[in-house]
Homo-oligomer: A and B are copies of this chain.
Amino acid sequence: MPRYERPIATVDAALFTLVDGGLTLALTRREREPYKGQLALFGGYVHTDEDEDTAATARRILREKGGIALSYLEQLYTFSGKVRDPRGWSLSVAYYALVRPHELQSGDARQIELIPIGKVPALPFDHNRIVELALARLRGKASYSSLPAFLLPPTFTLSQLQDVYERVLGHALDKSSFRRKIESQGVITPVEQMVRGGRHRPAQLYRLSDRHLAEFDRLISTA
């Protein structure tokens, strides 16, 4: 066996959701030193006695520290080095997920703080770098996939769909080119039912097409 010390091995998780005005990050206050009492990503040690792998570590930490049950998180990047943790040479396997608001609302409200992504404070360790990379990855993925649509109810209007893309991407989209793109990619399928919008004519409702439900399954199950 090697002569040198093994690194500290941790997992951190950046969870995003939509709350009111926009994209929001779930943080928690650290219960222990270092940085006790500060807002940080959900994170903790790999427990080699009980975790199957680091994805299981991430799920366990969210369950134990936030009461959050997630079946899937995507691996983001592994941050490592001598200086990122005052306890010594460390390595953090970072995960991220875009979750539906109710997946956080069913968690332990005392442990979860939802911060709009424009208002994330200075975080301990290299957590701000992790958040930045997670956000870039999420937006990169959102712009070529149906991912944001999974924040919507099963049926939705085109306006609602555009709204959720804009909130995830963080900028406005041109209405006609958005609709052209969505329609040309066969992302959505019209459903029979119509919404009666006050004095306006009823808006057509849509659902995600079967093909895109399948795409999403591939998306979330690819390493």
Please give the residue numbers on chain A whose beta carbons come within 8 Å of chain B beta carbons, in ascending order: 1-2, 4-9, 45-49, 52-54, 75, 77-78, 80-82, 87-89, 91, 93, 133, 223
Q: Which residues of B contact A89 (CB under 8 A)?
A: 46, 48
Q: Which applies to chain A's interface (DSSP): helix, strand, loop or mixed?
A: loop
CB distance from A46 to the nearest CB of B (A): 6
The one of B9, B77, B81 in contact with A52, judged by C-beta atoms closer than 8 angstroms, is B81
- Add 17 more A-B contacts to A6-B46, A48-B82 (CB < 8 A): A1-B87, A2-B47, A4-B47, A5-B48, A6-B8, A6-B9, A7-B48, A9-B9, A46-B80, A48-B88, A48-B89, A53-B80, A54-B78, A54-B91, A75-B77, A78-B93, A133-B223
Q: Is the pair A2, B45 in contact by a Cβ cutoff of 8 Å?
A: yes
CA distance A213 to B195 in the complex (A): 51
Q: Is the pair A223, B77 in contact by a Cβ cutoff of 8 Å?
A: yes
Nearest residue, chain B, Cβ from A93:
B78
CA distance A121 to B89 in the complex (A): 35
Q: Is the pair A6, B4 in contact by a Cβ cutoff of 8 Å?
A: no
With a 10 A CB-CB cut-off, give which of A53, A75, A133 has the most chain B CB atoms: A53
Q: Is the pair B75, A93 in contact by a Cβ cutoff of 8 Å?
A: no
CA distance A7 to B80 in the complex (A): 14
CB distance from A150 to the nearest CB of B (A): 22
CA distance A4 to B9 in the complex (A): 11
> Would A4 and B45 be within 8 Å (CB), given that A54-B91, A91-B91, A91-B93 are in contact?
yes
> Would A7 and B4 be within 8 Å (CB), given that A52-B82, A54-B80 are in contact?
no
Q: Which residues of B contact A77 (CB under 8 A)?
A: 75, 223
Q: Which residues of B contact A48 (CB under 8 A)?
A: 4-7, 82, 88-89
CA distance A170 to B87 in the complex (A): 46
Q: Which residues of B contact A93 (CB under 8 A)?
A: 78, 80, 91
The one of B6, B52, B54 in contact with A6, judged by C-beta atoms closer than 8 angstroms, is B6
